[in-house]
Amino acid sequence: MDSDLWERCFWLWGLLLWLSVGSGGDTSPTQQPKCTDFQNANLLQGTNLKVQFLLFTHSDPSCGKLVEESSDIQRSGFNATLGTKLIIHGFRALGTKPAWIGKFVRALLRSADANVIAVDWVYGASGVYYSAVENVVKLGIEISRFLSKLLALGVSESAVHIIGVSLGAHVGGMVGHFYKGQLGWITGLDPAGPEYTRASLEERLDPGDALFVEAIHTDTDNLGIRIPVGHVDYYVNGGQDQPGCPSFLHAGLVEQGGVKIEPLPKEVRVYLLTTSRAPYCVHHRLVEFHLQEPRNKDTRIVVTFLSSNVTSSVKITIPKQQLQGKGVLAHPDPQCQIHQVNLKLQASHRVWRKDRTTIAGKLCTAPLPVHDNKKMVCLPEPVNLQADVTVSRDLKITCV
């Protein structure tokens, strides 16, 4: 697999981020600041931070303005009345610029009227992973000092949103800790696991680091942290391997989308599914099967929804002596494009003779979340199923 494809699969929120940004240049005190790009380090430069803060605005979303002093910030187009988003990348083994930064910045500026500041700490993040871990506290201090300049210009603590990727998520937690949890919002994208799973709350991202802390887990079976670290933790596709991506790389970002939760929960885990290609969104549906009579063994039924070009399946298990089983099916197309459903009763493993079990029951489905039963759609007639035989029925669901 070529390196470009690896980069394309590195981060998900419904976003694959693979374009680069900016061009090099120096700032002049008598001119509008020029565009500045990320630095490139090498394997031997993992102890020197050399932090850069690059500001991106709506007026020029592809041009990063190097802002170091308050005077730089004021003449670079920074608007203290808007929200401010800080992006903190993670470990960079080869000392290269994160290739996803450019598209990520532009996506943020399209979705929110805000100042976007990318934190370039490529020098401190390169080389050996454990050297980068040792730089987390130093970087947290550097960002906190920079943030104090923004606050002095009138930025509200609650208007600050830190988006930290992998190791950068724990950097964001460190900054939030320094500000006693009064920053507005921290998003951890696949917070790093090595060295942090057993770390204290002061050393890693945790719910006390901001007024609202969320984490999106997409690689918990490899480099991502498994434990919940926010008020809300999203486990995309179970939090492990992502569809369409190499099995040991990270993924992506989701927006809070205006969700306001009061009081904040102590801990919530959210599990969702995605597709393997942009825009990754799927329509989640509750699928139920109701047996007419209980059985003395578990009943397993595979339910498949079909639209014009796509099929999606879910396995429903009805425990013995019970009448109902449920499952969640994720389908890329809108519900009104689903025109057929296939049902198959899974056969028992019998060595000497074919399983001729038959059952009867009713299939129902509803879009998630289910607020009431009015949106529940059921097949008009009961379905008779024989083991290992697929039964097809037309399915008509109204779009809302």
- Evaluate whether the domain defined by 3-272 bears CATH number 3.30.465.10: no
DSSP 240: S
Tell me if 84 sits within 8 A of 161, measured CB to CB. Answer: yes
Domain ranges of the chain: 3-272, 283-394
Distance CA 142, CA 217 (A): 27
Cβ of 213: how many Cβ atoms within 10 Å?
Answer: 27
Evaluate whether 371 touches 287 at the Cβ level (below 8 Å).
no
State the CATH architecture for 283-394.
Answer: Sandwich (2.60)
Across the beta sheet with 185-189, what order do the strands follow?
60-66, 52-57, 114-120, 83-88, 160-165, 185-189, 212-217, 232-236, 268-272
Quote the longest CA-to-CA distance of the chain.
89
Q: Which amino acid is at 196?
A: Y
DSSP 37: P
Q: Could you tell me how far CA 390 lies from the centroid of its own chain?
A: 36
pTM to 2 decimal places: 0.66
Predicted confidence pLDDT, tens digits, the chain (400 residues)? 333 333 334 333 333 332 233 333 333 444 556 899 998 886 655 457 889 999 999 888 999 999 988 888 988 889 999 999 999 999 988 888 898 999 999 999 998 889 999 999 999 998 888 889 999 999 999 999 999 999 999 999 999 999 999 999 999 999 999 999 999 999 999 999 999 988 998 899 999 999 999 999 988 888 899 999 999 999 988 888 777 765 543 337 333 334 455 566 666 677 777 777 777 778 888 889 999 999 998 999 999 999 887 888 889 999 989 999 888 888 887 777 888 899 999 988 766 678 888 999 999 988 877 665 667 888 989 999 999 899 999 888 776 6
